[in-house]
């Protein structure tokens, strides 16, 4: 978020993304006594420090360290929402949410619908996702596309401290269940965050950079790669219109359509596997809406369809990087 | 006797509700399929009769009895089974997803054991709210082999949550004898291994169920932590409305019929001097009530197609398509 | 499968899809004593009769009725494969596989890779999916796109008795884990199936119909809708090139590209939710490969992003139908 | 004494392996992070010492000791930790996914309790193969609160499968005292509630572990169905190589250090008249072996980037991208 957009009285500090989310949680827990957190080790601060010291302020009934029982962490969060509280369900890392998919997919995402609007599953599920420190196949997945496909959830994929904080506040206040993907690799990234965090609306892309030659759409950990690539391309005289989607459902179709209609070249980049990733949705949607003739070229970059390997050169080989984005952009410009 | 009479009436209404629904199903009046609880009414009736309105329950795929016993609106339920406007869930859930939050019925569930994590979480939420409501969590004997049951026991015991677990042991899990896929002494031992005190009850004796439930709920409400009630009963019909359960031992079924909870309650009431005609009238009234609900459902309009697009999300709801 | 493609000596009968899969399982269990089945109620024949009477021939050690323990059904199948047996893991309906996602996603799909090729997860996971008889939100899902996105699995989505049988035989013989989506709504559909079932290769589309005006791509339960739509369109003089993909991973990119390059109009149709469905992958891939200029129009049909409702008029409103396909095709032809 | 000496040597090798790996990690030589089992060696050593080569084990995220004790190649393991060519898993798994199928080590697991369903299935497969091999299934005290543990107990008991469940109770689950999130009397009671006979053992007494494991495995192999061994031990270091576990009571840690399984075995050997110099030599040799493995790993080439595209699937493998 551009600091100049903030109200002039707001106090803004530069802090890390993890600290920004902690500030958001603390603010909301102070505001609403029905907001609480459940997950493994959260009373010890969470494994990334997202909840550091919060137990001191809010006590062990609101910062609840749980057994290693993901299914019940998820399902209990739902149950607690059904009686009117507002739980933040901490999954530790996304991959462990796979131990709780009935609760997430069959229950949380559907309960409002199945019961004809009676249920209010006002939960936030926090799921730090993506590559981080050679964590290998079971601790590195990016499956956000699954949940954009799944009716019933809001899907947040922030990339900056301010966006993470703003979207988390919005998620906590939302009556819809929100699956909030913390970008593991960016927990340490810094940026300006106001003392008082306002909710950020879902479905509004951040226009990171303007340019006329190419529309570059990305989210989560890939945004910094995209920014660096855009800078590099600019040095070559290629103007990149860079959009950070911030949420995948709802997603800012209007912003993408407007940009693509203008630049006529579309590049969608995500850390997740390309095949079946959300990039396909974006390209297909743009083609459907604008007609194929509106575009000169479109392409996606994502990981190849491989589990994530441990060894650094292997991980590096399949990782989405600035260099791959730059190369793809150049080839698109040739088209 | 007044209490038993009330329980008899409640069981009769559950029985009539399902019998009428089954007739309607056979007549092609209602879509999908049903999981009847005929023969198991004493568990739902006994437990729910001692709950407060502000207590909550979670239920199973076989949840008509639980819903009705907790006080759900019968016409809303029947319309839901018929998929009609005015259904408890606006026609979106059907039999397997009956819910009535206004009376604390937090929903049937199409996933075996799916209600258990929800129940313990609801109890935890109630604690946070400072409420003294409790949660009764119904599940079948087949559900005790799913992980969430065991996680839920640990969780409820750990946080001393106000939950009454109610295992409806009808001896069967879909088409397989539950015993044949369940190792060890059973649900009571499992509960106790988590420090959850548990007891078994004759689940076809509605008074015994109510009495045991009342006793256990008193402990639970006092902050004594969770309890488990193991109710032995029998599923008199098949797994669903289209299943004959023909593989079962006919002797077993015959014996179970003699042990029908309605028959037993009736015998007891007769023995206590209640006039048979009074009891017949209870049955007849229940039948009339449910036939009226059926007629109401049959004449109710279908939901508007565009309603399919409602109740998904506040934010990010898709616009209604050209229909 | 066109019966004329079969060897002349083969005996071919017309049977249902469910019977075809039963025949495939029986044939493979006779051939290989290490093939076995585990799942709830399978010794009673399975809920659709897929395993009817097989316990009589193969006994309860190979047709194993299990507890309601999906996580362990899935994980035990994997363990049994690791020592050299070839389990068929029956999930009853797909939606219950959500109770076993750690085992499917974190273990089965990744184990060969994580262990550098040591593990041979030769399992078939059978998951009847899709709409069927007003079964509502928890018993009607089509999430096949998820698994095309997930590295490590083969994804089969047959639509005819012969294809179901042939793909199931191939799946049983494959050393790769295969997620086999039985099309619930087509279990009763009939077609010719040889007595002796040959394995059908993965990744080869069935060219159901030829036509020059429009490429129609579909799979699983939607194929009959697509066929009826194609017939209706033909009566209007619109020639439809109809492809049934049969598997989503691998998928027959070459066949789709060839057809789309020729007709220049692409319509992808699936029962699953359109947003984030595999249709997006196909459209995006065609655009990437052929260039947007090669197409005059492209479109997807899928369900709106809603859980599946119970009531027939609601289900009907969101269901993909012949009529919707015909309407979309007409509008594409206008483009 | 010969047997204890062998167990001592095995424990010393496990200890040295991890100490060397931790030094290498601190020196930035190996990527990612490690879950050291220092202090818990007696469980891995005791159990695996009484397994046959054709028996199988499943392991946890903390699996170096299990792998080594089961006979995995040390250089292959070290190279794997380093992410180098020639690693046990070709550099694809790393510490958390060590496996060596050639010695029946079916893999570490990054998911708590993830190995349990695999273990019971492997046992079922072995039965189908007509083998008399058994499966030892290691898991932590934190894992007993996950559903798959309970499902696995039921499953193994139901089919009387040849599984020895081994609970490594190191008193901690990551950063939380395991007791504080575990209700009821604990793992032994849980196992027994499924009809799985279980016993506790001093998990820092390697002879006691080996003796108990041998006895239980004999029952298991004879077709007596599953057994559970509960081994009480202590995790001397933090949860991972980057965790100091500073929150723990220093007295508890000091006491645990005195109870180090290597110290105890050494004391017993000394008391039995073994020369201290001999024991020192065992430690030194282990250190030399592991330093050699480290040197080997350090000089080993990295895998070729294109190898990332291998070992995914036979059919549908994606072509290697332009690298
Ligand atoms: C997780 C899951 N697995 C399987 C099923 C299919 N199924 C529906 S009911 C049922 C049997 C349940 O048995 P039990 O818990 O004893 O309940 P009952 O039907 O006897 O009331 C099964 C297997 C399901 N709904 N959910
Ligand atoms: C399903 C799952 N949840 C959470 C984690 C994160 N995690 C890794 S190890 C661990 C603690 C496990 O405790 P325990 O089972 O006692 O094993 P120990 O680490 O003590 O050896 C946790 C929570 C995980 N890997 N898998
Ligand atoms: Mg039952
Ligand atoms: Mg532990």
Beta bridge partners of C90: C126
Instruction: Reply yes or no on whether the pLDDT at A5 is more than 80.
Output: no
Q: Which two tokens stand for residue C248?
A: 């989503």
Q: Which two tokens stand for residue D250?
A: 């220093």
Q: Which helix (H) or strand (E) holds A74?
A: helix A70-82
Residue with tokens 């005996």: C11
Q: Which two tokens stand for residue C209?
A: 């119909």
Structure confidence at residue A2 (pLDDT): 45
Pocket test for ligand 1, best of B112, B232, B242 (most atoms within 8 A of CB): B112
Q: Which of C129, C139, C149, C270 is catalytic?
A: C139
Write the pLDDT tens digit of every residue in D47-82.
999 999 999 999 999 999 999 999 999 999 999 999
Pick the CATH number of D2-302 from 3.30.160.340, 3.40.50.720, 2.40.30.10, 3.40.50.970: 3.40.50.970
- Nearest residue of chain A to residue B109 (CA atoms): A107
Instruction: Reply yes or no on whether the pLDDT at A8 is more than 80.
Output: no
In whole angstroms, give the CA distance from residue C214 to residue C266. 6
Q: Which residues of A151-186 are buried (b: 16+ CB within 10 A; e: fewer)?
A: bbbbbbbbbbbbbbbbbbbbbbbbebbbbbbbbbbb
Structure confidence at residue C55 (pLDDT): 98
Write the pLDDT tens digit of every residue in D240-251.
998 988 889 999
Confidence of residue C2 (pLDDT cuts 50, 70, 90): very low
Residue of minimum CA distance from atom 10 in ligand 1: B174
* Mean residue pLDDT across chain D: 97
Question: Is residue C207 flagged as an active site residue?
Answer: no
Pairing of strands D163-169, D172-173: unpaired
Q: Which helix (H) or strand (E) holds D114?
A: none
ipTM > 0.90 for the complex:
yes
* Mean residue pLDDT across chain A: 96
Q: Are C288 and A298 in contact (CB < 8 Å)?
A: yes
Pocket test for ligand 2, best of D97, D139, D142 (most atoms within 8 A of CB): D142
Does residue D179 sit at the A interface (CB-CB below 8 Å)? no
Q: Are D195 and B182 in contact (CB < 8 Å)?
A: no
Does residue A96 sit at the D interface (CB-CB below 8 Å)? yes
Structure confidence at residue B322 (pLDDT): 80
* Mean residue pLDDT across chain B: 97
The alpha carbon torsion through B116, B118, B123, B125 (nearest 10 deg) reads 160
Write the pLDDT tens digit of every residue in B149-193.
999 999 999 999 999 999 999 999 999 999 999 999 999 999 999
Q: In C, which residues are within 8 Å of A95 by CB distance? A: 106
Q: Are C181 and C128 in contact (CB under 8 A)?
A: yes
Q: How confident is the model over D19-38, as a mean pLDDT?
A: 97
Instruction: Reply yes or no on whether the pLDDT at C4 is more than 50.
Output: no
Does residue B54 sit at the A interface (CB-CB below 8 Å)? no
Q: How confident is the model over D313-323, as a mean pLDDT?
A: 91
Residue of minimum CA distance from atom 9 in ligand 2: D174
**Residue in D147, D182, D195 nearest the CB of B184:** D195
Name the C residues in 173-202 with CB < 8 Å from any D CB: 174-176, 202
Q: Are B96 and C139 in contact (CB < 8 Å)?
A: yes
Instruction: Reply yes or no on whether the pLDDT at C305 is more than 80.
Output: yes
Name the B residues in 1-40 with CB < 8 Å from any A CB: none
Does residue D111 sit at the B interface (CB-CB below 8 Å)? no
Q: Which helix (H) or strand (E) holds C124?
A: strand C124-126
Architecture of domain C206-333: 3-Layer(aba) Sandwich (3.40)
Pairing of strands C247-249, D176-177: unpaired
Instruction: Reply yes or no on whether the pLDDT at A7 is more than 80.
Output: no
Q: How confident is the model over A79-97, as a mean pLDDT?
A: 98
- Give the CATH fold of the C10-194 domain: Rossmann fold (3.40.50)
Structure confidence at residue C10 (pLDDT): 66
Write the pLDDT tens digit of every residue in B267-293.
999 999 999 999 999 999 999 999 999
Pocket test for ligand 2, best of D60, D63, D112 (most atoms within 8 A of CB): D112
The ligand with the least distance to the CA atom of B139 is: 1
Q: Are C202 and D89 in contact (CB < 8 Å)?
A: no
Beta bridge partners of C299: C267
Name all chains with 3 or more CB-CB pairs below 8 Å to chain D: A, B, C
Q: In D, which residues are within 8 Å of B153 by CB distance? A: 183
CA B284 to chain centre: 22
Q: How confident is the model over D305-314, as a mean pLDDT?
A: 98
Name all chains with 3 or more CB-CB pairs below 8 Å to chain C: A, B, D
Is D96 near ligand 2, meaning CB less than 6 Å away?
Answer: no
**Residue in C110, C275, C296 nearest the CB of A292:** C296
Is D167 near ligand 2, meaning CB less than 6 Å away?
Answer: no
In whole angstroms, give the CA distance from residue B263 to residue B279. 11
In whole angstroms, give the CA distance from residue D258 to residue D98. 30
Structure confidence at residue A4 (pLDDT): 47
Structure confidence at residue A301 (pLDDT): 98
Confidence of residue A11 (pLDDT cuts 50, 70, 90): confident
Write the pLDDT tens digit of every residue in C84-132.
999 999 999 999 999 999 999 999 999 999 999 999 999 999 999 999 9
The ligand with the least distance to the CA atom of B145 is: 1
* Cβ-based neighbours of D199, under 8 Å, separated by 6 or more: D188, D212, D216, D227, D228, D229, D230
Q: How confident is the model over C222-228, as a mean pLDDT?
A: 98
Q: Are C71 and D148 in contact (CB < 8 Å)?
A: yes
Q: How confident is the model over A300-316, as a mean pLDDT?
A: 98
Name the C residues in 89-108 with CB < 8 Å from any A CB: 95-96, 98-99, 101-102, 105-106
Instruction: Catalogue the E-assigned strands of A66-106.
Output: 86-90
In whole angstroms, give the CA distance from residue A124 to residue A113. 18
Structure confidence at residue C7 (pLDDT): 54
Q: How confident is the model over B75-85, as a mean pLDDT?
A: 98
User: C234 to chain B nearest CA, in Å?
Assistant: 24
Domain boundaries, chain D: 2-302
In whole angstroms, give the CA distance from residue B31 to residue B11. 25
Give span(s): CATH 3.40.50.920, chain C.
Answer: 206-333
Instruction: Reply yes or no on whether the pLDDT at A275 is more than 80.
Output: yes
Instruction: Catalogue the E-assigned strands of D183-316.
Output: 197-202, 227-232
Q: Which two tokens stand for residue C168?
A: 């199931």
pTM over 0.90: yes
């Amino acid at each position: 978020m551009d600091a100049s957009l903030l109200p002039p009285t707001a106090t803004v500090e530069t802090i890390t993304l993890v600290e920004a989310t902690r500030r958001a949680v603390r603010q909301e827990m102070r505001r609403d006594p029905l907001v609480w957190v459940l997950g493994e080790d959260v009373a010890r601060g969470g494994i990334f420090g997202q909840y550091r010291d919060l137990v001191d302020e809010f006590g062990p009934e609101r910062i609840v360290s749980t057994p290693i029982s993901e299914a019940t962490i998820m399902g209990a969060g739902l149950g607690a929402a059904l009686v009117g509280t507002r739980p933040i369900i901490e999954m530790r890392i996304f991959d462990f949410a796979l131990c709780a998919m009935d609760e997430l997919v069959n229950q949380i995402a559907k309960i409002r619908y199945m019961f004809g609007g009676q249920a209010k599953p006002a939960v936030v599920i926090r799921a730090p996702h993506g590559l981080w420190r050679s964590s290998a196949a079971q601790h590195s997945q990016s499956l956000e596309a699954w949940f954009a496909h799944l009716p019933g959830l809001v899907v947040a994929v922030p990339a900056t401290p301010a966006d993470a904080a703003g979207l988390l506040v919005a998620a906590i206040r939302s009556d819809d269940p929100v699956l909030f993907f913390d970008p593991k690799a960016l927990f340490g990234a810094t940026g300006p965050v106001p003392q008082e965090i306002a909710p950020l609306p879902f479905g509004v892309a951040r226009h990171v950079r303007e340019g006329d030659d190419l529309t570059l759409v990305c989210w989560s950990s890939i945004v910094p790669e995209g920014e660096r690539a855009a800078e590099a391309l600019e040095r070559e005289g290629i103007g990149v219109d860079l959009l950070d989607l911030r949420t995948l459902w709802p997603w800012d179709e209007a912003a993408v359509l407007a940009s693509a209609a203008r630049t006529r070249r579309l590049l969608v980049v995500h850390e997740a596997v390309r095949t079946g990733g959300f990039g396909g949705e974006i390209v297909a949607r743009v083609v459907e809406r604008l007609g194929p003739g509106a575009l000169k070229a479109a392409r996606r970059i994502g990981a190849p369809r491989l589990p994530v390997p441990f060894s650094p050169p292997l991980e590096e080989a399949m990782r989405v990087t600035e260099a791959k984005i730059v190369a793809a952009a150049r080839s698109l410009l040739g088209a | 006797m007044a209490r038993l009479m009330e329980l008899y009436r409640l069981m009769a209404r559950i029985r009539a509700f399902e019998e009428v629904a089954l007739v309607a199903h056979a007549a092609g009046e209602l879509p999908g399929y049903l999981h009847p609880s005929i023969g198991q009414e004493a568990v739902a009736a006994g437990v729910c009769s001692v709950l407060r309105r502000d207590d909550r329950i979670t239920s199973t795929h076989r949840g008509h009895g639980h819903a009705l016993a907790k006080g759900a609106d019968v016409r809303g339920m029947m319309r839901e089974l018929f998929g009609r406007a005015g259904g408890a869930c606006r026609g979106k859930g059907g039999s397997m997803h009956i819910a009535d939050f206004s009376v604390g019925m937090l929903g049937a569930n199409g996933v075996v054991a799916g209600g258990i994590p929800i129940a313990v979480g609801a109890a935890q939420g109630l604690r946070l709210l400072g409420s003294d409501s409790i949660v009764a969590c119904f599940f079948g004997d087949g559900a005790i082999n799913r992980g969430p049951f065991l996680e839920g026991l640990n969780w409820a015991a750990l946080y001393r949550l106000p939950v009454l677990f109610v295992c409806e042991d009808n001896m069967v899990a879909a088409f397989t004898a539950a015993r044949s896929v369940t190792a060890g002494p059973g649900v009571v031992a499992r509960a106790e291994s988590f420090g959850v005190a548990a007891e078994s009850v004759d689940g076809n004796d509605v008074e015994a169920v109510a009495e045991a439930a009342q006793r256990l709920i008193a402990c639970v409400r006092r902050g004594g932590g969770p309890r488990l009630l193991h109710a032995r009963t029998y599923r008199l019909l098949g797994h669903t409305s289209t299943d004959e359960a023909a593989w079962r031992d006919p002797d077993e079924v015959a014996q179970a019929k003699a042990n029908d909870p309605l028959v037993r309650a009736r015998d007891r009431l007769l023995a206590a001097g209640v006039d048979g005609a009074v009891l017949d009238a209870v049955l007849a009234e229940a039948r009339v009530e449910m036939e009226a609900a059926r007629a109401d459902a049959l004449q109710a309009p279908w939901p508007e197609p565009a309603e399919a697009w409602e109740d998904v999300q506040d934010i990010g709801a898709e616009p209604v398509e050209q229909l």
